[in-house]
Amino acid sequence: MCGIIGYIGKKNVVSVLMEGLKKLEYRGYDSAGIAVVNRNRVKIRRVKGKISLLEKSLEEKPIEGSYGVAHTRWATHGRPCEENAHPHRDCTGTLVVVHNGIIENYLPLKEKLKAEGHKFRTETDTEVIAHLVEKYFNSSLEKAVQKAIRKLEGAYAIAVLSTKDSGKIVAAKVGPPAAIGLGEKEFFISSDINPLLSHTQKIVFLEDEEMAVFNENEVKFIDYKGNSLEKRVDHISWSPLMIEKGGFKHFMLKEIFEQPQVVRDTLNGRMSLDSGKVCMDEIGLSPQVLRKIKRVVIIACGTSYHAGLVGKYFIETLAQIPVDIEFASEYRYRDFILDKETLAVVISQSGETADSLAALRSVKEKKALSLAVCNVVNSSIARETEGVLYTHAGPEIGVAATKTFSAQMAALALLALYLAQIKGKINKKESLSYIQALQRIPHKMEKILNQAESIEKLALDFVSFSHFLYLGRWVNFPIALEGALKLKEISYIHAEGYPGGEMKHGPIALIDEKMPTMVIVPKDRVYEKMLSNISEIKTRVGYILAVAFENDKEIHGRVDKVIPIPSANPLFTPFLTALPLQLFAYYIASIRGADVDQPRNLAKSVTVE
């Protein structure tokens, strides 16, 4: 949901900002802009469309400066067009602001500012910030920003500069993330750490109602009243290479192929084949506390929600604790009932999803214990929960989540085993057999990835369909949902995921030769039931593709095409069944020429409600 970046230092400012913007592009890509200060004059360039168009415009007509800010937009208020693209200016054009978030009270503020004589040029909510800072400006930019933001309601991470208090960038936030990069005589503000990694690994994360004020020589951190703050400096170990494509056509494909390693990295060091134990010392919640848990509520959005749904099966089967799974955007508005014996598990790759963060805050008001499953270290959700179980997936750049989904499932499998152990629900022998089954998963995933070419060939036959149905049952029902989500979000083909048993209650009416069905049918406790569902579709002349165990001979006579996967412990088959569906969606989208890494209308980190 928009990416902001700002830089002061000795390097070429336009290059640093443009390189940074490219790494933030996954956050939004309907327009982009840059403002730099050159001999105390602000130079702005903005375009409708992707960052490549901004780059082209700058090549044709370069601008230079000694410091500046830039923005990539995912429109909320005001259609995507050059005028609505950030940075936004005050009346004089000497002050500019870039903003990620939504100012909810911008209309009354705009009316008031207009009545006071301010001239507005755009339809955006952000422009009020520029005019408010202008209104309160006396001699110090940070003081003016402090006064302005007190008037704002909503969510924002902003970076502001003004030639009237030159050589300085002021950043502030409530809601969306703001990371401050500390280099040698150079400082950065960015929506995430990706643009910073090639310059510095020393990062300070701003908390809500905190500001950073920096020039070329120093950075100071203050609260909204102007009091100085001592901030912890985090040393981030992700390397800049992790955010390169590494020879793959798209980030999404690279990330699909990283999954065996990501699952290994998430499991490694947390379970032992000697003792049969899962170790969760690092999560910040003691076994004594977790042992008292009587119920788990999992809260998440999108793909993380689907991982949570798989987690529900893991926890209920292994730890025998009842689990509810909730969409964060719904849960937060419900009159939900929680108590101190409930563990709320908030799953979020980014750790910044506004709905998940808001749901977490409501959960905490009801005094439930909270645990985050996050990929981004020190993200807002990770900071606000009592415990954190990190997934070790590394940065995910493709907008469609793939490797983080597998990493989330791995983390949830560990959590389920851990809860089972501390509650005495499984013995050492059982525990060892689950640990072994999990350890074998990455190698089996590799075997599936080796078949990528044949899945690509298969995809060729399906590129012109407009609808798809995905069916699964039990632990693979969530994978049907996830497979359908992948297809629709990157290829724009309508797809629905359904539990196989629900077919006859409605969706079966859709079946005809124009609606292929992907069935997920490993040999598990619902295998026979899935075969019945398959017959129901075949009777109605539906075309069927099946993801099935490679040693399943029976399935071939019943469906039109089989994507084989190695056999595994049925409970852990989602790790394997998800992969062919990701590849299938990827190849269909790629063959159709879709913008796989940056699908239309989407953004990776959804920091607005």
Let me know if 604 is a catalytic residue: yes
Q: Is the CB of 318 or the CB of 407 nearer to ligand F6R?
A: 407
Choice from 163, 259, 353, 385 touching ligand F6R (CB under 6 A)? 353
Q: What is d(CA 40, CA 602) in angstroms, rounded to the nearest whole number?
A: 37
19 and 195 Cβ atoms separated by less than 8 Å? yes
Q: Is the CB of 201 or the CB of 605 nearer to ligand F6R?
A: 605
Q: What is d(CA 23, CA 182) in angstroms, rounded to the nearest whole number?
A: 18
Please, which of residues 264-303 interact with ligand F6R by CB under 6 A?
A: 301-303
Binding footprint of ligand F6R, residue count (CB under 6 A): 14
Cβ 393 to ligand F6R shortest distance, Å: 11
DSSP codes of every residue in 363-422: HHHTT-EEEEEESSTT-HHHHHSSEEEE-------SSS--HHHHHHHHHHHHHHHHHHHH
Q: Is the CB of 348 or the CB of 378 nearer to ligand F6R?
A: 348
- Decide: residue 386, CB within 10 A, 0-12 exposed, 13-18 middle, 19+ buried: middle
Cβ 381 to ligand F6R shortest distance, Å: 8
Q: What is d(CA 361, CA 338) in angstroms, rounded to the nearest whole number?
A: 13
Interaction of residue 476 with ligand F6R, rule CB under 6 A: no
Q: Match 């929680």 to its residue by tokens.
A: 338
Q: What is d(CA 480, CA 495) in angstroms, rounded to the nearest whole number?
A: 10
Q: Is the CB of 152 or the CB of 578 nearer to ligand F6R?
A: 578
Angle at 29 between CA 27 and CA 34, to 5 degrees: 95
Tokens found for residue 451? 């078949």
Using alpha carbons only, how large is the chain's radius of gyration in Å?
Answer: 25
Choice from 122, 349, 406, 573 touching ligand F6R (CB under 6 A)? 349
- Type and span of the H or E element at 141: helix 141-149
247 — alpha (psi -120 to 50), left (phi > 0) or beta? left
Cβ 214 to ligand F6R shortest distance, Å: 28
91 CA to centre of own chain: 36
Choice from 146, 163, 191, 356 touching ligand F6R (CB under 6 A)? 356
Q: Applying CB under 6 A, which part among 43-51, 291-299, 350-358, 416-424 lies near ligand F6R?
A: 350-358
Choice from 401, 419, 420, 503 touching ligand F6R (CB under 6 A)? 401
Q: Closest residue (Cβ) to ligand F6R? A: 302
Where does 116-153 show beta strands of DSSP type E?
A: none
Choice from 342, 348, 378, 573 touching ligand F6R (CB under 6 A)? 348
Q: Is the CB of 89 or the CB of 254 nearer to ligand F6R?
A: 254
Round to the nearest angstrom and report the end-to-end CA distance of the chain.
10
Cβ 410 to ligand F6R shortest distance, Å: 15
Q: Is the CB of 94 or the CB of 378 nearer to ligand F6R?
A: 378
Q: What is d(CA 556, CA 551) in angstroms, rounded to the nearest whole number?
A: 11
Cβ 379 to ligand F6R shortest distance, Å: 9
Four-point Cα dihedral 445, 451, 453, 458, nearest 10: -100
Q: Is the CB of 125 or the CB of 489 nearer to ligand F6R?
A: 489
Q: Is the CB of 68 or the CB of 472 nearer to ligand F6R?
A: 472
| Coil/strand/helix, residue 224 | coil
Interaction of residue 57 with ligand F6R, rule CB under 6 A: no
Beta bridge mates, 295: 342
Binding mask 485-504 for ligand F6R (x = CB under 6 A): ----x---------------
Beta bridge mates, 346: 299, 372
Q: Is the CB of 57 or the CB of 590 nearer to ligand F6R?
A: 590
Q: What is d(CA 432, CA 440) in angstroms, rounded to the nearest whole number?
A: 12
Amino acid occupying residue 591: I
Four-point Cα dihedral 371, 377, 381, 387, nearest 10: 20
Binding mask 296-335 for ligand F6R (x = CB under 6 A): -----xxxx-------------------------------
Cβ 236 to ligand F6R shortest distance, Å: 18
391 and 311 Cβ atoms separated by less than 8 Å? no
Binding mask 357-396 for ligand F6R (x = CB under 6 A): ----------------------------------------
Binding mask 220-239 for ligand F6R (x = CB under 6 A): --------------------
Cβ 384 to ligand F6R shortest distance, Å: 14
Cβ 429 to ligand F6R shortest distance, Å: 35
Interaction of residue 606 with ligand F6R, rule CB under 6 A: yes
Active site residues: 2, 604
List contacts with ligand F6R (CB under 6 A).
301-304, 348-350, 353, 356, 400-401, 489, 605-606
